Amino acid sequence: MMTDKLNEHGRSLLFTEARTANRFLNKPIDMSVLQALYDLMKWGPTSMNQSPARITFVTTPEAKEMLKPALAGGNVARVESAPVIAIIGQDLRFFDHLPTLFPSAPDAGKMFEEDEEKAAVSAFRNSTLQGGYFILAARSVGLDCGPMSGFNNALVDQTFFADTSIKSNFICALGYADPEQYYPRGPRLSFDQACTVR
């Protein structure tokens, strides 16, 4: 049986020494790296294996220009410097895939089909969980992340997801961070501030 804990290098890479990228080096991302990222993140658990996240990798200058009008002003320079921007979206009709994804309950999709609010909450929660897996999977394949929720979701939806059941959740700049342009690292809440033992 293999060791059942992550080693110090892994902990540093994913958690303790990882930093949010503010600006990126002028270095492209190979398509195989984006594929490897997805092939890790997809295994993270979701409720009933719903897997509602849909990722749009914005890679061309033209597509990036389409994204810019939706950005909060403070995020434009970061996006401009990133070789790839991922739009983490959520498919509000994720339940169409449940007969395949969750074969043990072939009718499970019905309760979401019949309750739009229930479907929306589940799509948001589970696509965001997958967003967390996405960020740590990106670090696992050697990428740095600059996740952002400061943008106009409705405009992104109109530009990229018109006439689909996909809505944007958050966006994440991807690339190789310029180590000279990190912001100072923020403090974190202590165990006693964030956790209670009952």
For residue 54, the cross-strand partners are 89
Confirm or reject binding of residue 22 to a second copy (CB under 8 A). no
Q: Smallest Cα–Cα separation from 83: which of 105, 57, 55, 101? A: 57
CB of 95 to a second copy, least distance (A): 13
Question: Which residues inside 157-176 make contact with a second copy, applying CB under 8 A?
Answer: 160, 169-170
CB of 22 to a second copy, least distance (A): 12
Confirm or reject binding of residue 155 to a second copy (CB under 8 A). no
Q: Map residues 34-73 to x or -, x wherever contact with a second copy holds by CB under 8 A.
A: xx--xxxxxxxx-x-x-x-xxxxxxxx--x----------
Confirm or reject binding of residue 149 to a second copy (CB under 8 A). yes
Burial of residue 40, with CB atoms counted within 10 A of its CB: 0-12 exposed, 13-18 middle, 19 or more buried: middle
Please tell me the distance from the alpha carbon of residue 41 to that of residue 180, in angstroms, as a whole number.
29
Under 8 Å CB-to-CB from 86, ≥6 apart: which residues?
55, 56, 57, 58, 134, 171, 172, 173, 174
Mark the segment that binds a second copy (CB under 8 A) among 7-15, 22-30, 75-83, 106-114.
Answer: 7-15
Interface residue with a second copy, options 18, 111, 120, 155 (CB under 8 A): 18
Report CA 179 to chain centroid distance, whole Å: 22
CB closer to a second copy, 26 vs 196: 196
Confirm or reject binding of residue 194 to a second copy (CB under 8 A). yes
Burial of residue 73, with CB atoms counted within 10 A of its CB: 0-12 exposed, 13-18 middle, 19 or more buried: exposed
Please tell me the distance from the alpha carbon of residue 196 to that of residue 9, in angstroms, as a whole number.
29
Q: What angle do CA 37, 14, 175 make, to 5 degrees?
A: 50
Q: Number of residues interacting with a second copy: please give it, by CB under 8 A.
A: 81
CB of 113 to a second copy, least distance (A): 18
Confirm or reject binding of residue 182 to a second copy (CB under 8 A). no
Question: Which residues inside 93-132 make contact with a second copy, applying CB under 8 A?
Answer: 97, 100-104, 122, 124-125, 128-132
Contact at 8 Å (CB) between 159 and 125? Answer: no
CB closer to a second copy, 73 vs 186: 186
